[in-house]
Amino acid sequence: MISPLAYIDPEAKIGKNVTVHPFAYIDKNVEIGDNCTIMPYASILSGTRMGAGNTIYQGAIIGATPQDFKFKGEDTLLKIGNQNTIREKVIINRGTAQSDSTIIGDGNFLLEGVHLAHDTHVGNNCVFGNGAKTAGNCIVDDRAILGSGVILKHACRVGRWALVRDGCRSSKDIPPYIVADHNPITYYGINAVILAKEGHFPEELIDNIAKAYRQIYQCGTSLENAIRRIRELIPITSELEYMLSFIEHSGKGIIGVNI
């Protein structure tokens, strides 16, 4: 299962049924779980902790040194969960300091040329299109979709089930359940097709999410007043509570709102 033409440092820990193709590079201080596949010319660098069932394609660089002037050479970590697909030429930087790590959850799909910078946290079942990139300290919550060429600037957050269309650039947070489009990026509508397709969101809940975002983006009132009206007018389920908490605790402010 492991090609003699691959390089594996003697200190690396490799699980069961791992396939390592010719010319792959696995550094010291690396842990790879069971049933992973490492394709030719992929590099798994020091500080990487990888779960089970991951596939790393050609030319990917996993656990690269952070591109951060604050980095002083510490032994920091990149933590990857299970069943992720990481396609060609993806670059993922490990954390800058020992107090944090770059973290990738389970079941994510990173297409060709994606770059996740230092201390970025990605949840579960997210999709990153070709060439999508994050700056450092970004957060991407579960089931978010970033289209091809999307750029997230430093410390931005993307909410659950959000869809960011191709080529968008954001310096603010992108709230959950919406479609974000255009440059400058703004609210385009709710992600109703995906929400309905997955079967997790009944029609009434999707309608309530749409009503809530109409208060924020289409009623011409302040964000504070919009949130107050949402709590008064719309039944607050756990999904709506997560949405409101995301907005109320946004460190960068949300897209398309200037108040």
Distance of CA 194 to the CA centre of its chain: 17
Dihedral angle over CA of 238, 243, 245, 251, nearest 10: 160
107 annotated active-site: no
Is 115 among the catalytic positions? Answer: no
111: exposed, middle or buried (Cβ count in 10 Å: 0-12, 13-18, 19+):
buried
Contact between 115 and 130 under an 8 Å Cβ cutoff? The reply is no
Determine which one of 53, 105, 115, 118 is catalytic. Answer: 118
Q: What angle (nearest 5°) sits at the alpha carbon of residue 74, between those of residues 70 and 76? A: 100
Is the torsion defined by CA of 200, 205, 210, 213 positive or negative?
A: negative
Please identify which of the residues 27, 106, 119, 173 carries the catalytic annotation.
119
119 catalytic residue (yes or no):
yes
Active-site position among 47, 63, 113, 136:
136
Output the furthest CA–CA distance in the chain (Å, rounded): 66
Q: Catalytic residue numbers?
A: 118-119, 136
